[in-house]
Structure 1
């Protein structure tokens, strides 16, 4: 896990219960880290520029300016320190602007260490488009999230990038799936679900009693994608107790395969009791085969978590570094981290 602090980063390895400093000479003050893929991190610097950084070697890949985005509906212009005018382009050429700050920027990253190929995806929180670029691009391309998009696939609640596949959880609780590998733009390859998902009601009262909690204090729904490309829905909740302990629970669901059959209207999600031989990194939105990562202490059927709102902003952003055992329904936290002044943290898999 990488912990982000004032002026720099530290690496924490749970199996060793030790903290390591990363590069000594690189000052990361003024940077905000948005996402990671292996050893590579997507960050926005103090001048509102997106960069990809290897925090261990200080290798840096500068990305196109945000204002380079090209599309049919929006354009972006710098408007002073950490501010942008985001304008809707109407067919008659009239533009109406809305100012967004860089703190509203969200991002995703995927890097192939073998080929050096990469994909960067970003969005201004609450705005109606997504920008993306690939290695070799000198500008970003626009993906509308509302204009010209079928109603069921409009809006974004959560996003996951897995290779050239971009998944997002829509406002109407469908999953939109885009293929970004094409030279001429993206292709929508979403499954044709007839009805939105219906998540079973969680027994909050029963869970409060089991955990000895007073009430629920936070809850989020995220999507994740398995190694086989299947979408999972992850509902996490934090609880308040009479002590300093803040227990958290996770429920993992997948769509019932019958949902696509024309003879049924059943869209109830099926809850999973096990992830099999995989572990879920909710920060990355993906599952991984434990066998490929057993040397660094990754365990099957565990959920690795720091916060549930990395891809959508909340007024109160709750950092909660924990590992959840899906079989025993128990949390593990790391007392050694309490001595660090951690501003943010992200689980990652070193490549």
Structure 2
């Protein structure tokens, strides 16, 4: 039988447990706890509260290292080469028939077969739904008409006074989108191109999408969009005539940058050599704010060996030059639009190191046979490709994407 004193002590313990504010742990103790967590829980911990986030920022930083997302039918795996570890998860929070469009740190930009966009955090499963494309689209006389029938490949149409464009699953074959999100404040920007013609943007606080076609004077110049990138509150647009337009998103309303755009009058020229074929052209912004143009080139003489060429404009001569370096301790994921800080040292056996370009099968398909692996790592200095080991669900074909947890 418990004594009165024993009952009192038990009551005191319950009160302490119930009333203790876990956000006010001793900073040194909390820091020690956070640094002992595995990589997934380490990144999740910063979302607990503002106090934990403040302590998390003072922890010994783990190197930014590209991870792989392996998609299965009803689940997914996160492959961390730094720990040589696979984290298994579920698709909870991801809509059925969802398709990947872009990523920013832990966050994915997804679209489903109703052309509904949402942002999804891989580590916490938090989901943010974006406005419907069926709502009134600002900035131009264009609207989306959804197909109400189920089980058809045609999702709907974009309609304006001059044209009608079908929207379906093949949007993924020519997708081009960017996502930026500040995981501390929750501010986010989403921009995507459809059919090289329409340019839509959304910024946190907007109640609908914005159509940019009329504002960038594309129609009168007979131009269309080839790629886009976003960094430091600026959107960079690569057009069919090789020019780069810049739109400033730092204010309440985005504004095109004219006078301070060093690329405006200096288009990117490139003529293929004999035996070469350009598969895809992408743009990326360095941490310094300078622009890269990246060409995925296939070499016939090497049986369509994939290569990556990087070009950068010399801001003094205004001439585009091929460069052999991404930058000091920087790497890039093909199609993600920005360079990221490389790991301090080489990671694992998958070629994770400074000066590398990460790509997936879809970046080369259908021209190049990538049966070796779902993804690869291209060493810019040596032109050697490292093919990471395959990870699959029951030996069935799965999709792979690269992402960088903790990068923002």
TM-score interval, smaller chain: 0.7 to 0.9
Distance of 1:122 and 1:193 partners within structure 2: 21
CA 1:22/1:66 → structure 2, altered by over 3 Å: closer, same or farther? same
> Following TM superposition, by how much is the alpha carbon of 1:61 offset from its aligned partner in structure 2, in angstroms?
0.5
Deviation for aligned residue 1:203: 5.9
Q: Is the 8 A contact 1:283 1:308 kept in 2?
A: no
Q: Of the candidates 247, 266, 275, which is equivalent to residue 178 of structure 1?
A: 247
The Cα offsets for residues 203-235 of structure 1, whole Å up to 9 and x where unpaired, read as 64xxxxxxxxxxx67622211111111111112
2:329 corresponds in structure 1 to: 277
**Contact 1:17/1:336, CA 8 A, preserved across alignment:** no
1:288 paired with 2:318, answer no
- Deviation at residue 21 of structure 1 after TM alignment: 1.4
Q: Is the 8 A contact 2:70 2:391 kept in 1?
A: no
The farther-off stretch of 194-203 and 30-39 is: 194-203
Q: How far apart in 2 are the matches of 1:35 and 1:240?
A: 30
1:253 aligns with 2:253: no
Partner of 1:77: 145
Unaligned segments of structure 2, at least 5 residues:
1-67
In structure 2, do the counterparts of structure 1 residues 253 and 6 end up closer, same or farther at CA, with 3 Å as the change threshold?
same
**Map 1:191-340 → 2, pairs under 5 A:** 191=262, 193-199=264-270, 201-202=272-273, 204=275, 219-239=279-299, 247-260=305-318, 267=319, 269-275=320-326, 276-290=328-342, 298-306=352-360, 321-337=375-391
1:42 CA drift (Å):
0.8
Contact 1:119–1:163 (Cα < 8 Å) also in 2: no
Equivalent in the alignment of 1:155? 224
The structure that has the greater radius of gyration is: 2
Residues 241-287 of structure 1 deviation map (CA, whole Å, 9 limit, x = unaligned): 89xx9742111111233444xxxxxx4x3111222321122231211
CA shift in 2, pair 1:144/1:168, >3 Å: same
Instruction: State the match for 1:211 in structure 2.
Output: none
1:86 aligns with 2:158: yes
Residues of 1 paired with 2:378 and 2:398: CA distance?
22
Q: Residue 76 of structure 2: SS of its match in structure 1?
A: strand
Paired with 2:222 and 2:266, the residues of 1 have a C-alpha distance of: 12
> Is residue 66 of structure 1 aligned with residue 106 of structure 2?
no
Gaps of 5+ in 1: 90-94, 205-215, 261-266
Q: CA deviation at 1:305?
A: 1.4
Tell me by how many angstroms 1:28 deviates.
5.2
1:114 counterpart residue number:
184
- How far did residue 237 of structure 1 move? 2.5
Deviations along 1:177-205, one digit per CA (max 9) or x if unpaired, are 1112321333334435434222264464x
Length-normalised TM-score, structure 2: 0.68
Structure with greater proportional helix content: 2
Aligned residues: 321
Which stretch has the larger CA shift, 195-204 or 226-235?
Answer: 195-204
Deviations 1:289-322 (A, max 9, x none): 226x769775211111125759xxx877977511
